[in-house]
Structure 1
Amino acid sequence: MNRFLVTGAAAVLAMVAGQAAAMGGSAPPPAPVQVERAAPARPGHEGAAGAPTVVRRDTPATHLEYLLATEVTPEELLFRRRVVVVFADTPADPAFTAQMVALETQAGPLIDRDVVVIADSEPADASIWRQRLKPNGFSLIVIDKDGQVKQRKPSPWDVREIVRAIDKFPLRRQETGRMGVAP
């Protein structure tokens, strides 16, 4: 794979700062978080001060990964990652902001469960995620590694609740050896 992604607290903080400014804050909104493609990135390479970290997607998951919906297709993640898709009609949606902050501040359990977060707050882009999942306003959708939608929520969900739901998925139970099958 030759795509790059924006990850970590810097990306979420850049999104949140832009949303706060768009909601009437005094600071001008920062430029949108962009995926760097021009120069090769090294894992852990930090650009200019305050810039989001850019890493290759094929690096081991040591942090919660965030992708824009236009940068990855569901097929690319099939049987590799669980997906939490966060939809909103605008990046200034308070529910979107709250959900992204919750995901970042409690990322550890999600990392352990091979989760990648897909953010889609631009309906005009008509991403493949939006076309297939057909969200209405804010929506949180949890998809298992087999590509099946397991949860749909119309409001922000606590990471603890997301983790509990994931731990009930059959594929997750297989991974942890808790299928309840006698040897």
Structure 2
Amino acid sequence: MTRLAAMFAMFLSLTAPHAWAEGTDMTEAVIIDGLTANLAEFKWTHRPLIVFADSPYDPAFVRQMELIEDDLPALVERDVVVLTDTDPSARSALRSALHPRGFGFVLVGKDGGIKLRKPSPWTVREISRTIDKMPMRQQEIRESR
């Protein structure tokens, strides 16, 4: 996927917060507004990466999203869907379930379990390494050979 296509996919996903519910092809819509997301929708199909902040202008949030946008194809390859939540006053289901404090991200496995929780931005390479060590991902790699 070219950088332009990735940016277009991100734009579409941000302007359509209900993209998942409407059956959007998740190989294109990687970044979704998490205010209305339900983690159960992704169980056994995707690895949600939930990025929280108290404002979309939080420098750590901005940096994390830049890092994600720099390598969207690596996330697509690992069945990652990025959910963003930058409005604490909305009291989303994600916030109720994961209890974030300020900026942070949470990686949830396909089994629905929390695999990683970090209070500072990480590169896609660092996130990918964590995913690639998971038993389910190891199985996916073996099956793809």
CA distance in 1, matches of 2:9, 2:140: 30
| 1:79 Cα deviation after fit | 0.7
2:7 aligned residue (9, 16, 34): 9
Matched AA of 2:7:
A
TM-score by length of 1: 0.67
CA distance in 1 between partners of 2:106 and 2:133 (Å): 15
How many Å apart are 1:153 and its aligned residue?
0.5
User: Which runs of 5 or more residues in structure 2 are unaligned?
Assistant: none
The CA RMSD measured in Å over matched residues stands at 2.6
Instruction: Report the identity percentage.
Output: 38
User: Which of the numbers 73, 77, 98 marks the counterpart of 1:112?
Assistant: 77
Using the alignment, how far apart are the partners of 1:135 and 1:10 within structure 2?
29
Please say which structure displays the higher CA radius of gyration: 1
TM-score when scaled to structure 2? 0.84
Residue among 9, 12, 16 paired with 1:35: 16
Match for 1:118: what amino acid?
A: L
Task: Tell me if structure 1 keeps the 8 A contact 2:52–2:100.
Answer: yes
Instruction: From the two aligned structures, give the one with the greater helix fraction.
Output: 2
Q: 1:65 to 1:109 in 2, by over 3 A?
A: same
Unaligned runs of 5+ in 1: 1-6, 15-32, 38-53, 179-183
Distance 2:112 2:70 in 1: 26
* Partner in structure 1 of residue 92 of structure 2: 127
State the 1:57 CA deviation.
5.3
CA distance in 2, matches of 1:94, 1:167: 28
After TM superposition, give the deviation of residue 96 of structure 1 in Å: 0.3
* Distance in 1, Cα, partners of 2:132 & 2:20: 28
The higher-RCO structure (CA 8 Å, 6+ apart) is 2
Pick the aligned partner of 2:132 from 157, 167, 170.
167
- SS at structure 2 position matched to 1:141: strand
Bigger mean CA deviation after superposition, 114-123 or 71-80: 71-80
CA distance in 2, matches of 1:8, 1:125: 28
Residues 60-139 of structure 1: pairs in structure 2 closer than 5 A: 60-63=25-28, 65-139=30-104
Matched positions, count: 138
Distance 1:155 1:109 in 2: 20
The alpha-carbon distance between structure 1 residues 64 and 111, as it changes in their structure 2 partners (threshold 3 A), is farther
